[in-house]
Amino acid sequence: MSEQTTLVTVKDVMKENYDLVEGIATVRQALEVMRYVETKCLIVDKRHEADEYGIVVISDIAREVLAANRSPDRVSIYEVMTKPAVTVHPDMDIRYAGRLFTRLGLSRAPVVQDGRVIGIVSQTDMVMKGLLKLV
């Protein structure tokens, strides 16, 4: 007899609020416009349609700017971002997203549908909001 499991998708647990910045912004400018600090990251916008999204997590800024004793006024986001960002689809099962995060060492990823960011999901979101929904 097989046990039926509940499907919990990325869109069920993702945060719809995220901060989008330009790669040419300085770290200081980017941090000053951060409205959704609880996301702990910044999505770097595409420069044009054929470009890819980037991502900067707070630990990148801590490592590349704070710990390196660099001025946030002299470091651009493009210097510390990861690009292309690994993205996930909103309909992806959180178990597969969790495996992807583990395999690639990710803590969070933009959720992209039809070529545009619609949210952000983290390991914490998947565990705290999604794990208990799984049967």
Tell me the residue type at 118.
I
Closest CA to 18 of 55, 51, 66: 55
pLDDT of residue 91: 98
Residues of the chain with pLDDT under 70: 1-5, 135
Contact 27, 75 (CB under 8 A): yes
CB 10 within 8 A of CB 121: yes
**pTM score of the predicted model:** 0.89
3-state SS, residue 9: strand
Ordered structural domains, the chain, with CATH: 10-133 (3.10.580.10)
The tens digit of pLDDT for each residue in 72-93 reads 999 999 999 999 999 999 999 9
Tell me the C-alpha distance between 129 and 135, whole Å. 13
Q: What is the pLDDT of residue 133?
A: 79
Look up residue 64 and give its two tokens: 């590349």
- How many whole angstroms separate alpha carbon 54 and alpha carbon 87? 10
Q: Give the integer Cα–Cα distance in Å for 51 and 60.
A: 22
pLDDT of residue 4: 55
